[in-house]
Chains A and B, each alone.
Chain A
Amino acid sequence: MKIPLQRNRDFLAGLMLITIGGGAMIIARDYPFGSALRMGPGYFPTVLGGVVAAFGVWVLISGLIKQEPTTRTWSVRALIVLPLTAVVFGYMMEHGGFVPAVLVLSIMSATASPKFKFTEQAILAIGLTVMSVGLFIYGIGLPYPLFGGH
């Protein structure tokens, strides 16, 4: 049975490895290679990039032979929301202060689930914020302002 390439698990994995390995080799061309005796900063990355890309070719070919599809289901919503939440939290730590940052972090990440209910998550967010302030700011003494940037 043939499956389309965009669902062929090992074909895709191989492609990823070739891209990263090959990319590393190309970038490493800008670094002095040196010799086996005095290896330059480009030596190790070039060799490694080659090794990774070579394994990539192997995995890619085996994918074409084995024809196994990807089996994991995933939620596009979570894939967008969660990384974005981490970014927003990072930004707010610099510009908004610890308390707003944690509140937003908790509520925003909760929206990644299709079963999001605002009241429930608001209570959780407040609880987590109070706990984090107690534990990290007063308990451990991390030097972050509660409100406002630094």
Chain B
Amino acid sequence: MELFHNLILGFSVALTVQNLIYCFIGVLLGTLVGVLPGIGPLATVAMLLPLTFNVSATSALIMLAGIYYGAQYGGSTTAILVNLPGEVSAVVTALDGYQMAKQGRAGPALAIAAIGSFFAGTVCTLIIALFGPPLAEVALEFGAAEYFSLMLMGLVTAAVLAHGDMAKSLAMVGLGLLIGIVGTDVNSGMARFSFGFSELTDGIGFVVIAVGVFAIGEIVSNLGEEEVGERQTYTARIGSLMPSWEDMKVSFWPIVRGTGLGAFLGVLPGTGPSIASFSSYMLEKKLSKNPDMFGKGAIQGVAGPESANNADAQCKFIPTLTLGIPASATMALMLGALTIQGIAPGPQVMTQKPDLFWGLVASMWIGNLMLVVLNLPLIGLWVTLLKVPYRLLFPSIMVFSCIGIYSVNNSSFDLYMASVFGVIGFVWVVLECQPAPLLLGFVLGPLMEENLRRAMLISRGDPTVFVTRPISLAFMIVTVLILIIMVLPAVRSRREQITD
């Protein structure tokens, strides 16, 4: 059995002392950051990137992945206990989780969130192991046209599924693509949009934009909010952790459905975990015999979405690792970390570096297990952390962010750029232009241009190449379908309802 052989290889890599330690550090840091409001997994991975510079590629990825899914866990803990979703994806969890906490059932809510996430993590590890290799094989057949169409599909999905105005999101994707072009054109060697700065001929670093927009810009807008009203911290009593048999029974199917939904959405590039948790919540509410219970402490409203967002987060690794196309902005950072380690992302990673691929997959399962064991006893600690006032928190975030930016290229110019993006990012927050789709566009910009040009060259300037090759045609059809569905009046009004 090839599958078992691969998994055994993976576990033999992931279970080395060094990798276990990196996995542990990753999930611990991730949970820590997930608990703290005002800084998301993206900015964390970006600012902690230097921690991975002189470890092996496998350990680096294991740790970054740990930060990523640890943050999802941490976000839901605070959502349940204090109605403060640490991450966007935990907003839905707060709806019923916090109500449960108020009724003295915080323990079961936390436990079911952990169990659901662990179930989803296990299933997704298996999905990656089962479908990764065949997908990578298909991907090896991809030509420039297929890659272009796939990326277009990912960007359009990202834009239409993002919160807020669709036209603005699509425009932000375009803006991201434009920013991605800054730098030297690979084909002609011409410096584009460098405005005379020699530093810009290498392009703008991903960390610069991510930290500038998501850390500095975010703090600026948070400080504005803080002047209006102080954050509320209400600490609920946790009570018994064990969910009752009844809780387990009613949560079982929501967990299974949430996992399925999250895994499906996770494979699509562009969708975020918040979409998965939201869809799962809607689904459970619809299927429930007494939907009135939702919003008043229904355990299904915690179990489903929590499984869904974890499944989504993990399955994002499928397109990222098999196709070399980042399925979300955070995944782009993972690929960035790979590149720093001297490994070119793409379908060949699996065959050339099987220990890295399978070690990472196995470590995700181990990391999920660690989170269950780690999170429940440490809840008291996480709650205490929440009492750290923001005026002490944000200077710390600034310190780590700025050191993180500087360390990537040892360049002061990167910090000047980051401060510019901090201001721009703040403007975007005020104008309610979503920066997340922009970031995806930014990452895919150079790749898309490259593949577009190559496809057109191969087809001798015939644009029909995108619809005459079957796989490319399929991606194009899906893209158009998504766009048509989203502008239908019925869907549109429903979408606005949801995003409100």
Question: In the complex, A125→B403 CA distance in Å?
Answer: 14
Contact of B431 among A16, A78, A89 (CB under 8 A): A16
B190 close to A31 (CB less than 8 A): yes
B416 and A128 within 8 A (CB): no
CA distance A132 to B416 in the complex (A): 21
Whether a CB of chain B sits under 8 angstroms from the CB of A83 is yes
Given contacts A20-B178, A21-B174, A90-B412, is CB(A72)–CB(B429) below 8 Å? yes
**Pair A90/B414 contact, Cβ less than 8 Å:** yes
A65 to chain B, nearest CB (A): 12
Q: How far is the CA of A60 from the CA of B185 in the complex (A)?
A: 32
> Do residues A75 and B174 form an inter-chain contact, with CB atoms below 8 A?
no
B367 interface residue (CB < 8 Å to A): no
Contact partner of B224 (CB less than 8 A), chosen from A62, A75, A116, A121, is: A75
In the complex, what residues of A have CB within 8 A of residue B181's CB?
A: 44-45, 48
Interface size in chain A (residues, C-beta < 8 A): 74
Asked whether B283 is an interface residue with its Cβ less than 8 Å from the other chain, the reply is: no
Does B391 have its Cβ within 8 Å of any Cβ on chain A? Answer: yes
Considering the complex, give the chain A residue whose CB is closest to the CB of B414: A90
Interface members, chain A 10-53 (any B CB < 8 Å): 10, 12-13, 16-17, 20-21, 24, 27-28, 31-32, 35-41, 43-45, 48-49, 51-52
Q: Do A52 and B178 touch (CB < 8 A)?
A: yes
Supposing A75-B227, A82-B398, A140-B54 touch, asked if A38 and B457 sit within 8 A by C-beta, the answer is yes
Chain A residue numbers with a CB within 8 Å of B219 are 78, 82, 112
Q: Interface readout for A48-73 with B: 1 if CB under 8 Å, 0 if not? A: 11011001101100100000001011
Verify A93–B406 contact, CB threshold 8 A. Answer: yes
* B53, chain A: closest CB distance, angstroms: 6
Instruction: Tell yes or no: B413 within 8 A of A by CB.
Output: yes
**Bound-complex Cα distance A58 to B402 (A):** 37
**B residues apposed to A, CB below 8 Å:** 50-51, 53-54, 165, 167-168, 170-171, 174-175, 177-178, 181, 185, 187-188, 190, 192-193, 216, 219-221, 223-228, 390-392, 394-396, 398-399, 402-403, 405-407, 410, 412-416, 418-420, 422-423, 426-427, 429-433, 449, 452-453, 456-457, 460-461, 463
Which chain B residues lie closer than 8 Å to A143 at the CB level? 410
Please give me the residue from chain A that is nearest to B405 by CB atom: A86
User: Footprint of B on A, CB under 8 Å?
Assistant: 9-10, 12-13, 16-17, 20-21, 24, 27-28, 31-32, 35-41, 43-45, 48-49, 51-52, 55-56, 58-59, 62, 70, 72-75, 77-79, 82-87, 89-91, 93-94, 102, 105-107, 109-110, 112-116, 120-121, 124-125, 128, 132, 136, 140-144
Tell me, rounded to whole Å, the shortest Cβ–Cβ distance linking A50 to chain B. 9
A125 surroundings in chain B (CB, below 8 A): 395
